[in-house]
Amino acid sequence: MMDNQKQLYYVNLNPISMDNVSLTEVDDGQLIEYEISATEAEKEQLERLIREVHKHDVELGNLLSFKHFDDLTADADKDEYQTGMNDIYEEIFRLGTEETKQKVSEIHLQNEDDNTPGL
């Protein structure tokens, strides 16, 4: 069955083009791309997840002007977006090539460091 055939895809999380999981690498030094090996179904699932998180982020941008007085709402939205991004990175890690797993691990470690309270 062809559906279970894994293929290499490239994922970038640039907000402008992040919902496009592509068969071709974008040769742009500004973009961090992640190489994944996925079936068509896994690719579509990842694209759906990315679209959901991106859509939520766009809505956040539109709503922040109305909600900026309500810090709790803004914080909850930011937390939800961060949780969505974490889900995306987990999926990229799961499907990723060895190089991708290394990149995602480094990012995750950096994020862990960022969350460490200063002394």
- Per-residue model confidence as pLDDT tens digits over 41-91: 999 999 999 988 888 776 666 655 555 556 777 787 788 888 999 999 999
Residue 19 in any domain: the answer is yes
Q: What is the pLDDT of residue 38?
A: 97
User: How far apart are alpha carbons 24 and 33 in whole angstroms?
Assistant: 11
8 pLDDT tier (thresholds 50, 70, 90):
very high
Residue 110 within a domain: no
The backbone torsions φ and ψ at residue 37, rounded to the nearest 5 degrees and listed phi first, read: -115, 115
Convert the pLDDT of each residue in 10-36 to its tens digit. Answer: 998 876 666 678 888 877 777 778 999
Using a pLDDT cut of 90, give the percent of the chain over it: 37
Six token digits for residue 43: 């690719």
Q: Check residue 64 and give its pLDDT.
A: 55
In a domain, 111, yes or no: no
| Inside any domain, residue 113 | no
- The answer to whether residue 118 sits within a structural domain is no
pLDDT value at residue 82: 87
116 within a domain of the structure (yes/no): no
- pLDDT higher for 116 or 95? 95
Give the CA angle between residues 104, 106, 110 to the nearest 5°.
Answer: 115
- Go through the chain and tell me how many residues it has: 119
Domain of 43 in residue numbering reads as 2-101
- Domain presence at residue 117: no
Number of domains in the chain: 1
What is this structure's pTM? 0.75
Task: List the one residue out of 104, 81, 106, 83 whose CA is nearest residue 11.
Answer: 104
**CA nearest to 21, candidates 5, 10, 8, 37:** 10
- Average confidence score pLDDT of the chain: 80
Closest residue by Cα to residue 41 from 81, 18, 9, 12: 9
Is residue 8 one of the residues assigned to a domain? yes
